[in-house]
Every structure is written in structure tokens, then in C-alpha cells.
Structure 1
Amino acid sequence: MTSPILRRLVGATTLALLAAGLVAAPASADDPYDVPDDAVIHLEGDGAGHGIGMSQYGAYGAANAGKTWRQILDFYYPGTHTGLRGGQVSVWISGDDDRDLVVDRAPGLTVRKVDGRSWRVAGVKASRWRLTPAPEGRTEISYRTGSWHRWKLVRGDAELTRGGAPVTLRTPDGPVDYRGALRSTRHDGTRVSVNVLPMEQYLRGVVPSEMAASSWPQQALRAQAVAARTYAAYEREHTANPDYDLCDTAACQAYGGASAEYSTSDRAVLKTARIVLTYEGQTAFAQYSASNGGYTVAGQFDYLPAQADPFEGTSSDYYGWTRTVTSAQVEAVYDVENLSAIGIETRNGQGPRGGRVGDVRLWSSTGWTGTVTGESFRRNLGLPSTLYEITAVEPAAP
């Protein structure tokens, strides 16, 4: 985050450029609110997520209005075309964050060195199998029969697989089924679990994790399948990480493994098999979010424009959400001594509420004032989107 003092200097430069007519003026500021000691700040807003590219809630509305998945994607990614991508992806399973990779015994289970020899383990009477990092870059393979027993010690990383059949991974939060291979590997000085599997099998665990497969229209699910496949292919092509292509959370795209699979989303994946979006022959960066609040946000490419979204609607999940934060939280996050006032400094002028917040200004009773970005304020204070406004500031209840 840029320091408030530096942002104040940048703001002064921007005012000079505005006076010279060199940059467009931002939307006008909201009136600031005085902040008493131990205050509660009330906020209200629309949308959820960054708002770039496809709105999942918009895809839902478009599908209910009779639009096909191709029409939905043409609207959210104008100028793109369709192409084909296949192959495998590797996904970091962030929830398996302990020292070992442990799976349940299952028919056809195979253990193998990465890029090396493999062994069938059917003849071993075991309830579970475990991969544990060992000194000198080796992996210990163990099995459990009431207690753990070392089976083999191999050089390099190892993985467990049943081909296309699911393997049950024992995570600290409970068991989860995954297709493909479950690999124990080293990343940035620690051990991580990575799921390596074909793209189409991966998508079967993504689409129902990103959309409500049990109730949402098939065309919305198909649009999601293509967007998710495109996003994964783009990340795979552009990653500088040798250990995995994507994570399994909303920081990349949500992935629940085989445990998340659902019949309607499986159908959406099958009916759009291998199809991705391309732009000028290259895989598109198909960003998407839950709801844009009625107006998309411009991304880094021409096919990610800012535009009004006629398919968004009103929903208690995404529109008119409310949040409260305390003055103490703001002071702690931004190292402000005795916050005395707060206000929205700039908006982009696109969409409801005057548009998304560009900057939030903070005042201190010491005489200091500075700004933080609307995105920083959203992220650090837990707001769903940057399409928000401050509605009231009042003393905290005794």
C-alpha cells in the first residue's frame, strides 16, 4: 500500500495536472463525516468482487433472459473468439497445510516418483498411505496399520494416483476427493500438496464451486465452464511458478475437487469441452467475479471494457449490502492516530452510487490528512466490492 503521505504528494501533482487540463477530473467527493472517539462507521454498497469481465450473477440473469452461453461471453468479453485448449493443470490444495500428504486406501492406488518409477500398493494391508518430506530432498512413503510404517524412501517428490478415479485426501479440515494425482512437493521452503489432473476433470470441480450448480440455468453454467477453462489455460501459460499453475481459492478460482462435482455442471463442462476464449490468437485473460453491481470495471485488455450491465439485477446477496467497521479498526490498519473524520475522496463515475471508490480520505485530530485507495479500504476492512458509500458515523454503543 502507498503511504498516506506519499499519496498526498501524488494528489497535489494530480491537482496541478487537472489545472493544466492534462488528466480527466475524477467524480466529485462525497461529504466527509466527523468521527467521534470509539465510533462505528456504517457502509452500504453493491456488487461483490473486482467487477472485471463476466459477472456470474449477470450470467445468471442473461441465461434466464434466454441468452446462450456464447451470447453471454460475447457481451462480457467483446472481440474474443473461441479456440481449443487441453492438457493438464496443477493446482495447489491450500487446505492441506500440514506436514504430510495422507490418503485413504483404495483399489488401484499407485505411488510413484514424479517423472520416475511407480508401484502398485494393492498387496499391502494398510488403511492409509502417507508422503512425508525427508532430508536431502527425498520423500518417505509410509502406510498405516494402527501405526505408521516406512515402506520406501525415494529421491525427489512423489505422488499418489488412481488414474481417473478419485483419491480421498485427508486434510486438517476433513476428507476431500480428488481425481488425477496428489503430489507432495516442496515450494518456497515448505511442503505443499498439488493436484495434477486433466483440464476437463479439473473443471468438474471448479464450475459447481463457482456457481450454484443445483439451481442455476445451464447456459450460465456453460458460460462459467468456458470462462473458467480460459482462465486456467491463461494462468498455466503465464505462470512463473514451477510447482503449480493455480491455487484452489477465490484468489485464483474456487476448486472443490471431485467432492464438489454435480450432474448439471458436469454436463456444462462436457457440452463445452476444450472450448476457450481467444483474442488475436492468444488465450484470453477471462477474469470474472460474483457481481459487478450493474457496471463492469475495465481490465488490462481491450476485451475487458467498462460498460453498463443490463443483465445484473437486484439481490439481497449483492445489492444494498451493509457493513460496519470501527474507527479503531481503521486506525489500526492505516496507523492513524485518533481518526477525526473520513470521506470518499474520488469515484470513477461509472455505475450506481456515483461509481466505484477511487480514494478514501482520512483525517487525524493531530492535523494529519491523507488518502488510501478504495480497493485498499475494501480489502483491509472486509467489504465485498469498491462500489460503496459511507451512510453514517456514530458513537459505539456503551
Structure 2
Amino acid sequence: MRISSRAISTLAVTLFISLLSPFSADASAPAKFVFTGSGYGHGVGMSQYGAKGMAMESATSAMILSHFYPGTSLLPGDDTQLIRVNVGHKQRDASLTIKSESGTVTLIRGRFLINRPVPESAVVGSYSGDITISMTSIAGKIEITRSSKLAKFSSLEPDDDWTIRWESETVVTLRTAARNYLLKYGQLNLKRVANDVGPGEMEITTTLRLGDQYLYGLGEVPSSWPEAALDAQAIAARTFALSKLPSIRKACDCHIYSTIRDQNFVGFGKESEPFYGIRWRNAVDRTRNQVIFFEGKPIQSFFFSSSGGMTQNVKDVWGGKLAYLVNRPDTWSVNVAINPRYAKWRREVSQAVMAKAFELKDLVRYQILERSITGSLLKIRGIDSEGREKILTGEQFRSRVALPSTWINLSGVTADGEPEREPPSEQVIEICLDLFRFSQQRRE
């Protein structure tokens, strides 16, 4: 009898779910839930620990990129454009500090693009020494105050927009409620954002040259990593940034966010790291103008920390289809010697967090409904003590309960934090994965 690839795939899914989905006839809500798994991040595109592992095996940056973005081309591309980076999203308060040895800062009323001349009437003043400029969204405007141990300043009328510039060798510290930045390049723009209640908020952006000033400040991977991994990261980051041009996103008054929502921009602190900072700067310079293209355009070069052994197909995570964002082997991510922190992980999630994630009264149990060919979670159902149910996608669940990834190898649900039963052996899990792979080969 000939068994169809569909039947094999169904068998594999059923076996996975039966092994990895907890169940209980007890209607009481447990105190905590236990999850173990592998990997960190969404799983789409280039695995950063995969790139590190390949580099340790002497792969070049071009080999790394062609592996994780199949069918693409590495070609020269223009990266001299300016890019506007949001460094303070929906902020109420922020401050900018300059120390006496750092140079001069100029405060300008209104909004002026970088490198554009400013009329003298708009310049409030230029300041040096130990000074702090505080920015507060209040009464529908942005209020600026200046303070120093050595001088007193008069108050300023609030305004909708402000521009702050500094000399080329000046280094300033921007502090927001979310994070702090050391900034050397570019300028700051403050824009008032109205809301329905309260004093409003502001968007804080910095505008930089993409190809060097922006990329120098990306803190995506340790600068101590192998050169090929750093080069691959620099090229992927450059390509991702180019894919965000030229449109300004209204929600952030920017091309790109400074957080992992897009790319982790930390500013001058990255290249000024003791000893290692120059290695990242050299990677950016070494790969200047190198861009990943597909069908004539820079690709959406997503990347993430590490996977559960194989990267995700974009359609399984966010929907849609991109020929270069497909499943790719990534055994390096589950190698403890390469990825000691996330090759294997264990997390305990409280009853309150689980119930809130599913938007239910409480959570008695859950069922894993669907997994991808990589073994990552695609759909999960939560059930409360009154029998009500809610289904979440794997990404929704990961985000809401703060799990490192959707590669959940073992899950348990107990009152004392211990697993309900022994996990399936590695051999049994490998059988499941082999069935998945075999079914895919038959389809091809």
C-alpha cells in the first residue's frame, strides 16, 4: 500500500501533538506552567548564532548570507542616504547632557532637516560646559529647560518642534524613559504628538548617514564574534535599513525604530567599546556598499538570535510569501558550545500571566493544535475552568507570556512547577522531524 505524503505529514503532526501537548481532567487551575525549548526570537531570516557557527567553521560572509537568504544576490548598492531613526517613541520626558570636554550644542526652535541652513531668528543659543537640556511634553507643546551648575537660564516658551545640533566631535547623552544613548553623529528633532487625553507626547528622532554613522551604532551582536559573522550582520543590517527607505512612517516620524522592532541602535557606545568596538566598525567599513538584492530590490533581511534547529518560513510567522525567507537548517543554534544561553532554556509562567495571555478567567489547561515543519508552535488553545476557549498563534503566545521562542520542546502544567510527565526522548523527537522532512521531500 502506498502512503501519501499528506498522510505522513498528518501522522507526524499527530505524533508531535500527542507527545508535547499536556492534558488534564482536573478542572482546577494550576499555579504555574513549565516550558522548555530552544532558540530566541521570531525565527525568520538569518540566525545570528547560526552565522556565528558557520563563521567558526570558516564560512565567508557571502556563504552565510546565501545560506539564510537563498536565491538572493550580494551586489554593490548605494548606502550614502540619510536615515531618520526614532530614539524616543511616545515620550513624555527626556534629557540631553553635554560634558565640558565634549564640545558645543545648539538649540533651535522649529523643525529643520539635517545639513539645512537655519535662520538666526530660530537659534535659541549654543551651549558648552556641563549642561543638561530637559524636554517635556506639556500643555500640548514641548517645553525645554536648561540647567547647569555654573549658569542660570531664563525660561523658554514651549513649541511644537525643536531641533538640537552639535559639533562634529561632540558626544552627548540622551536619556529617555526607555533607554539611554551616547550620540556623536547627526542631530535630534523633537516633534509633538497629540493624544486624546493628557499633555501629549513627543517623538524624538536622530538623522544620520546610513552607510556608516547609523551602522556604526548598531548593537545587534557582540563585537568579539568572528569577522565573517560580523560582516554578514553588517550587510544584513545595511540591507534591512535600505528596505525601509524612502517612506517616513507616521507612527514614529521615522524610517526605522532604534529597538528590536526594527534594529537595535545603541549609538556611539557600540563603536567606542573598549578593544572590541573597532572590530564592529571595521566590519561596517569592510562591507561598505554591499547589499543583498532579490529581483532588483534590497530584500527584507530579517534576522534573529537563534532557532530550534531550523529557521522559519515567513508564511508560518507573519503570513505572506517571500522566496528567500524559507526554512533553512540551523543546527548551530542548538549547539550549547556555540549558543550556551538559548540552545536549551526553561521558563516558568504564572497562572495570572497565562490567563491574561489567553484573555480568560483562568487557565486550566492548553492544547498545542499545530506545529510547523521545524517543530515551532503555530497554534495553541487555552481552556478555562468554565470551559471557555481561546486560540492564539505561536507568535502571539510567545509575545504574551515572554517565552524566548516558539520552539517549545517540552511543556508541563503543574501546581508545583514540575513537569507532568517525562519529556519524549530525543530519538522520538528526531523520528517526528524525520517524518516531516520525508513528507516535504515527497512533495518536491
* Residues 181-204 of structure 1 deviation map (CA, whole Å, 9 limit, x = unaligned): 122222455212211111111111
- Give the aligned partner of residue 292 of structure 1: 307
User: 1:59 and 2:51 equivalent?
Assistant: yes
- Give the aligned partner of residue 440 of structure 2: none
- Distance, in Å, in 2 between the alignment partners of 1:302 and 1:360 is 27
Residue of structure 1 aligned with 2:119, choices 117, 120, 123: 117
SS for the counterpart of 1:78 is: coil
Which stretch of the first structure deviates more once superposed, 167-176 or 280-289? 167-176
Q: 1:121 to 1:394 in 2, by over 3 A?
A: same
Shift of 1:122: 5.3
Contact kept in structure 1, 2:357 and 2:397, CA below 8 Å: no
* Residues 150-196 of structure 1 deviation map (CA, whole Å, 9 limit, x = unaligned): 47877843222323643332445666334211222224552122111
- Give the aligned partner of residue 336 of structure 1: 360
User: 1:202 and 2:214 equivalent?
Assistant: yes
Q: 1:120 to 1:108 in 2, by over 3 A?
A: farther
Shift of 1:117: 2.9
* Residues 92-148 of structure 1 deviation map (CA, whole Å, 9 limit, x = unaligned): 113893435433154243344514336595577773345566888787575644544
Correspondence 1:1-398 to 2 at 5 A? 27-28=13-14, 29-30=17-18, 31-34=21-24, 36-81=28-73, 82-84=75-77, 85-94=79-88, 97-104=91-98, 106-112=102-108, 113=110, 114-115=112-113, 116-117=118-119, 119=123, 121=125, 127-130=131-134, 142=146, 144=148, 145-150=150-155, 156-163=161-168, 165-171=170-176, 176-187=182-193, 189=195, 190-199=201-210, 200-206=212-218, 209-213=219-223, 215-241=224-250, 243-261=253-271, 262-299=277-314, 300-315=321-336, 316-350=340-374, 355-396=375-416
Which stretch of the first structure deviates more once superposed, 27-36 or 147-156? 147-156
Q: Share of identical aligned residues, percent?
A: 25
- Give the aligned partner of residue 421 of structure 2: none
- Distance, in Å, in 2 between the alignment partners of 1:126 and 1:338 is 54
Shift of 1:64: 0.6
* Residues 209-250 of structure 1 deviation map (CA, whole Å, 9 limit, x = unaligned): 11111x210110111001111111112335533721111111
Q: 1:132 to 1:43 in 2, by over 3 A?
A: closer
Shift of 1:332: 2.8
Q: 1:94 to 1:129 in 2, by over 3 A?
A: closer
Contact kept in structure 2, 1:331 and 1:337, CA below 8 Å: yes
- Distance, in Å, in 2 between the alignment partners of 1:294 and 1:234 is 28
Instruction: For 2:83, give the aligned amino acid.
Output: V
- Distance, in Å, in 2 between the alignment partners of 1:370 and 1:131 is 43
Contact kept in structure 1, 2:240 and 2:300, CA below 8 Å: yes
SS for the counterpart of 2:33 is: strand
- Distance, in Å, in 2 between the alignment partners of 1:134 and 1:336 is 38
Shift of 1:72: 0.7
Instruction: For 1:365, give the aligned amino acid.
Output: S
- Distance, in Å, in 2 between the alignment partners of 1:329 and 1:139 is 39
Q: TM-score, normalised by structure 2?
A: 0.74
Q: 1:373 to 1:95 in 2, by over 3 A?
A: closer
- Give the aligned partner of residue 13 of structure 1: none
Q: Which has the higher strand share?
A: 1
Which stretch of the first structure deviates more once superposed, 193-202 or 148-157? 148-157
Contact kept in structure 2, 1:361 and 1:370, CA below 8 Å: yes
Instruction: For 2:297, give the aligned amino acid.
Output: Q
Contact kept in structure 2, 1:80 and 1:277, CA below 8 Å: yes
- Distance, in Å, in 2 between the alignment partners of 1:378 and 1:123 is 47
* Alignment RMSD (CA, Å): 3.0
Contact kept in structure 1, 2:181 and 2:269, CA below 8 Å: no
Q: 1:27 to 1:178 in 2, by over 3 A?
A: farther
- Distance, in Å, in 1 between the alignment partners of 2:127 and 2:48 is 48
- Give the aligned partner of residue 11 of structure 1: none
Q: TM-score, normalised by structure 1?
A: 0.82
Shift of 1:363: 2.5
Instruction: For 2:91, give the aligned amino acid.
Output: D
5+ unaligned residues in a row in structure 2: which ranges? 1-5, 196-200, 272-276, 315-320, 418-444
Q: How many residues align?
A: 368
* Residues 31-86 of structure 1 deviation map (CA, whole Å, 9 limit, x = unaligned): 43226433321111111101111000000001110011111111111122223122
Shift of 1:268: 0.3
